[in-house]
Amino acid sequence: MKFADVEEGKVYPERTFTFREEEIRAYLEAVEDDTTLYVGQKLVPPAFAAVFARWEALADEPLPEGTVHAKQGFRYLKPLHWGDTVTLRGFVKSKMEKKGLKFIERQVEVYDAANDLAVVSEIKIILPE
């Protein structure tokens, strides 16, 4: 991926993701989170969004060596539960050059089975060229 080839507003094909119990349990164990709320109410931990709402889960575009992960943020609008299947929709939100640096901002929106927006993930990267 080169900065010159990135199209602002480009929409990527939708993908789906299902919250599988074994993956969530493995995640909770890996981060040493024993919050009973997640297991007791089968809630997907908010930080698990870094697993399913990351850009790489949506786009088959390898980032070039030297890419810098400048910023990432999540907005949580609805709780998600184990077993839920969500739809990921992503697009290039902005593209700009500032002080010789080439910034790309991408957004992934996560919709639940009722097609309600549940999570928004934004990531800003700096491309080397």
For residue 103, name the pLDDT band (cuts at 50, 70, 90). very high
- DSSP string for residues in 63-106: PPTT-EEEEEEEEE-S--BTT-EEEEEEEEEEEEEETTEEEEEE
In the chain, domain spans:
3-127
pLDDT at residue number 44: 95
- Per-residue pLDDT reduced to its tens digit, 35-53: 999 999 999 999 887 777 7
pLDDT score of 63: 80
- Residue 124: the pLDDT is 93
Least confident of 25-39, 51-65, 112-126: 51-65
69 or 56, which is more confident? 69
Residue 40 Cα distances to 33, 45, 88, 103, angstroms: 13, 12, 26, 41
Distances (CA, A) of 7 to 48, 101, 113, 123: 29, 17, 29, 16
Phi, psi of 57 (to 5 degrees): -70, -15
So what's the architecture of 3-127 in CATH?
Answer: Roll (3.10)
d(CA 65, CA 62): 9
Average pLDDT on 12-24 reads 92
